[in-house]
Amino acid sequence: MVSFRKYLFLFDIDGTLISPGGVSRGLLAKAVTEKTGEKVHLGYNDVAGYTDRSIVRNALLKMNQTITADLLDRILQYYFSLMKSEFMVSKDPF
């Protein structure tokens, strides 16, 4: 019998898995705040080593928000639009 190993490759496009900078963390907090109406603070430990979806899910859990696929998608879509506009003008690390 031949056994196969499964591998998972993560591409850290915005750097939050390896070195989460303040810009991406702030933009993600802004997206969560805008879409929930409740202010959230994301510290280094809230984002380091997590994917964007996991960060948002954990933030919503801490806020006692009902987590739905639609809410996650709306937050992440808004976050991506913020990233797109900020990436070209920001001089700070993401």
Assessment of whether the complete model's pTM goes beyond 0.95? no
How many of the other CB atoms lie within 10 Å of CB of 79?
23
30 pLDDT exceeds 80?
A: yes
How many of the other CB atoms lie within 10 Å of CB of 57?
17
Going by C-beta distance under 8 Å and a sequence separation of 6 or more, which residues neighbour residue 26? 42
Percent of the chain with pLDDT over 90: 52
9 pLDDT exceeds 90?
A: no
pLDDT digits 0-9 by tens, 56-72: 999 999 999 999 999 99
